Amino acid sequence: MTSIEGKVAVVTGAGRGIGRAIALELAGMGAKVALAARTVSALEETARAAGEAASVFPADVRKKEDVHKLLDQVASTLGPVDILVNAAGIGVFGQVTDFSDKDYDAILDTNLRSIFMACRYVLPSMMARGKGDIVNIASIAGKVGSATRAVYCASKFGVVGFTQSLAEEVRQHGIRVSVVCPGSTDTTFSSDPHREGKVRGKMLSPSDVAYAVRMLVTQEPNSFISEIILRPTQKP
């Protein structure tokens, strides 16, 4: 494995769930981790758990100005970004006929547009240095559609397609862009009806997803895992 000791990593959605687990994993590996999310108290809790390797950078990734400010602050205080993990995400579920414009915009802005904005802003520096890792967290819902999840699935399908296309654009610059698609994961995610009745002990844990990210960012420079689909061993 390639060491990430001293590398600068930005993790969005780092205040809870999968994002928090990824941030703790990277910090434990010696990276300098920038924790980004909207809720300062949650970020501070993650920072306490991560120790001196982590720094708090509050940001609303739905807003372009916040994304730009976040990445500028990280570059000026920690150094150029070596690893970008886009883990921020929300879910609102229901029939399309009942779905509001507000919820549609919130899902697409958080789950997809934020990834586009962060990647677009961080890539020039990575390209100039000829290296970098970008990991986008999607979902099994980005591979298979299901009822009451049309908008959520659209956002995650978009993440998968965006990641695949971007990877082809920048791989010649030494930059790896990968996507992780977890199945049912035991987090405090919103009221997804598809999780009702599932056995928590059979679900993935956030640390399982973090370990997948660990594999991606520690590959040797001449190897590239473009996609990881992660499922529980048993159906929960």
Q: At a CB cut-off of 8 Å and minimum separation 6, what does 182 contact?
A: 18, 137, 139, 140, 204, 208, 209, 212, 230
Active site residue 152: yes
As given in the structure block, the two tokens for residue 145 are 């559609």
Compute CA 62 distance to the chain's CA centroid, rounded to the nearest angstrom.
14
Tokens of residue 126, six digits = 């990575």
Q: State how far the alpha carbon of 188 is from the alpha carbons of 4, 9, 108, 195, 234, in Å.
A: 29, 24, 20, 11, 20
Show which residues are catalytic. 152
